[in-house]
């Protein structure tokens, strides 16, 4: 059985990690997590998260490639009537941050595969009609390396 390219292993682990988010501290529980942009049907759930690779660069460095993969996390969240929408948006973004940083930390699901994740930007939009529908995007650049000629081998 062939091993999947490192890039695909990393994306699969990111998705699994996001599916495992629980309600503690800043985390949110996602009803839907997909490796694609959210669909209109996803907006019928209370919380949905889509993840898409929007850019990837590879730089050859002495027998290996140093790769930067930009992943967009786009989310939809339906706040409770009593919630303050700005606070909910901030909590959702903070939950994504917390989970991403835990993924690349020592002992995290990406430990030994991806060695860094840096946020490049985030934005959120609160629906003006009901103030309950919150949508947004957070962009993270994951960095990893693999051997030249073998995309399954780390560094």
pLDDT digits (tens, 9 = 90+) for 9-35: 899 999 988 887 665 555 678 889 999
The C-alpha atoms of residue 153 and residue 148 are separated, in whole angstroms, by 9
pLDDT score, position 65? 87
Cα separation of 46 and 98, whole Å? 20
User: Would the pTM of this model clear 0.85, i.e. be above it?
Assistant: yes
The two tokens of residue 90 are: 């901030």
Query: Concatenated DSSP letters for 89-129?
Result: HHHHHHHHHHHHHHHHSTTSTTTTTEEEEEEEEEEEEE-TT
Tell me the fold of 6-154. STM4215-like (3.30.2000)
pLDDT of 102 strictly over 90: no
């Amino acid at each position: 059985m062939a091993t999947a390219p490192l890039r695909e292993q990393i994306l699969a682990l990111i998705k699994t990690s996001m599916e495992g988010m629980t309600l503690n501290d800043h985390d949110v529980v996602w009803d839907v997590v997909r490796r694609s942009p959210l669909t209109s049907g996803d907006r019928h759930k209370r919380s949905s998260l889509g993840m898409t690779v929007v850019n990837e660069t590879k730089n050859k460095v002495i027998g290996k490639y140093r790769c930067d993969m930009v992943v967009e996390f786009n989310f939809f969240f339906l706040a409770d009537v009593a919630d303050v929408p700005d606070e909910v948006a901030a909590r959702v973004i903070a939950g994504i941050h917390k989970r991403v940083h835990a993924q690349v930390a020592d002992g995290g699901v990406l430990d030994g595969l991806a060695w860094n994740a840096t946020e490049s930007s985030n934005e959120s939009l609160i629906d003006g009609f009901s103030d309950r529908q919150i949508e947004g995007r957070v962009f993270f650049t994951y960095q990893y390396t693999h051997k030249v000629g073998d995309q399954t081998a780390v560094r």
